[in-house]
Amino acid sequence: MNRPGGASESLAAPTANMTEGWHCLHVYYRLHPLAPGFPTGQAREELLTALDPQRDGAPQRLQVSVVSGHRADLGLMLMDPDPLKIDSVLQSIRTSSLGPFLEPAYSFVSISEVSEYVPTVEQYGERLLREGAATDDPAYLAKVKAYEQRLPMMNKQRLYPDFPDWPVTCFYPMNKIRDPQANWYREPFSSRSKLMAEHATSGIKFAGRVSQLITASTGFDDWEWGVTLWARAPEYIKEIVYTMRFDEASARYAAFGPFYISYVMPIAQALDHLRVS
Ligand code: 76R
């Protein structure tokens, strides 16, 4: 099809796959009581296959966790460029023998992105200068150089994340509010950027204890972002969420949805835990 101005020539072919970054799905199931005599052995095998991250056709990322509390029993976090590859995991679960006993309790749809507040190398340098560095200072030059080397890797981790090998994970959705008294979306970029820089400074203190992935969901789900945290130990989750509540960006502008805390393990161990033997 020809469009006026030949605009179609410059566009890539239409696709449901992400051109940059991955689709992301968090999904939570509640396990219903199994009737006596239910053939769990076979059902277990089906789920072991469907939720094996190494199998052919598995999404790029497939993480299983066991959820604390009544909100859910089993949690999945899936990422792939192809949304249907992610969805086919759900369909395999739905049509498995255990499907009728696994009630979908919550889901959250999002995509990975590099936030507009991640400073470019130039913005990073300007920030250092505003904080008092001098252009000819070797420490300033070394910092800018180090950031320039780090940035491509950091952006790759934001778009195509490797999940840390840590046992505790927490998920919650969040918004930036649009109250007449505190409307994030009416603040100029420079103010938002300043608040996000403060947020980053407070977050960096948790390096080595907590790892975070912020996925964007505006247009994909009812909240604007999904926050996934992984921690080396559970108390760090409480500590980071509490600490960041005091960042101006959260204290003044953030609203949060339900929290899901869960423990990462392979599906075999999760099924043992859920007494599907
Ligand atoms: O390198 C950089 O400067 C990146 C800085 C950075 C950005 C752009 C950053 C750092 N975050 C960014 C974006 Mn974050 N983050 C959250 C939450 O519970 C709360 O109060 C809020 C939930 C946590 C816990 C957290 C942790 N961050 C965002 C955005 C997107 C904004 C947009 O694009 O409009 C949201 C919604 C958000 C929320 N953040 C960090 C952390 C931590 C621990 C860091 C520092 C560590 C790091 O840079 O890897």
In a domain, 68, yes or no: yes
Q: What is the 62 CA–ligand 1 centroid distance (Å)?
A: 23
Q: Is residue 238 pLDDT above 70, yes or no?
A: yes
Whole-number Cα distances in Å, 216 to 93, 109, 132, 173, 204: 26, 9, 34, 10, 20
Nearest CA to ligand 1 atom 27: 214
Q: Which helix (H) or strand (E) holds 205?
A: none
Nearest CA to ligand 1 atom 35: 214
The CATH number of the domain holding residue 82 is 3.30.70.1030
Q: What is the 81 CA–ligand 1 centroid distance (Å)?
A: 23
In a domain, 174, yes or no: no
| Partners of 66 in the β-ladder | 74, 263
In a domain, 203, yes or no: no
- pLDDT value of residue 7: 54
- pLDDT value of residue 40: 85
Closest of 256, 250, 240 to residue 198, by C-alpha: 250
Cβ–ligand 1 contact at 250 (below 6 Å): yes
- The mean pLDDT of 53-60, rounded to a whole number, is 97
For residue 54, the Cα-to-chain-centroid distance in whole angstroms is 21
In a domain, 183, yes or no: no
Whole-number Cα distances in Å, 21 to 79, 115, 120, 228: 9, 12, 18, 16
Q: State how far the Cα of 149 lies from the Cα of 157, in Å rounded to an integer.
A: 14
Contact present, 28 and 67 (Cβ < 8 Å): yes
SS (H, E, C) 24-87: EEEEEEEECCCCCCCCHHHHHHHHHHHCCCCCCCCCCEEEEEEECCCCCCEEEEEEECCHHHHH
Q: Is residue 1 pLDDT above 70, yes or no?
A: no
In a domain, 69, yes or no: yes
User: What's the total number of domains in the chain?
Assistant: 1
Q: State how far the Cα of 47 lies from the Cα of 172, in Å rounded to an integer.
A: 26
What does the angle CA 160 – CA 161 – CA 163 come to, to the nearest 5 degrees?
150
The per-residue pLDDT for range 58-96, each reduced to its tens digit, is: 999 999 999 999 999 999 999 999 999 999 999 999 999
In a domain, 240, yes or no: no
- From 244, 248, 252, the mutation candidate for ligand 1 (largest count of ligand atoms within 8 A of CB) is 244
Query: What SS3 class is residue 219?
Result: coil
- pLDDT value of residue 34: 87
**Could you tell me the pLDDT band of residue 37, with boundaries at 50, 70 and 90?**
confident
Residue 160: Cβ-neighbour burial (10 angstroms; 0-12, 13-18, 19+): middle
What does the angle CA 47 – CA 53 – CA 56 come to, to the nearest 5 degrees?
90
The per-residue pLDDT for range 87-136, each reduced to its tens digit, is: 999 999 999 999 999 999 999 999 999 999 999 999 999 999 999 999 99
- pLDDT value of residue 2: 41
Centre a 10 Å sphere on the Cβ of residue 211 and count the other Cβ atoms it contains: 19
Q: State how far the Cα of 83 lies from the Cα of 63, in Å rounded to an integer.
A: 16
Cβ–ligand 1 contact at 214 (below 6 Å): yes
In a domain, 71, yes or no: yes
Nearest CA to ligand 1 atom 4: 118
Containing domain of residue 44, as a range? 23-112+265-273
- The mean pLDDT of 206-220, rounded to a whole number, is 98
Query: What SS3 class is residue 147?
Result: helix
* pTM listed for this prediction: 0.94
Mean pLDDT of the chain: 95
Cβ–ligand 1 contact at 249 (below 6 Å): no
In a domain, 117, yes or no: no
Examine the residue annotation and report whether 172 is marked as an active-site residue of this protein: yes
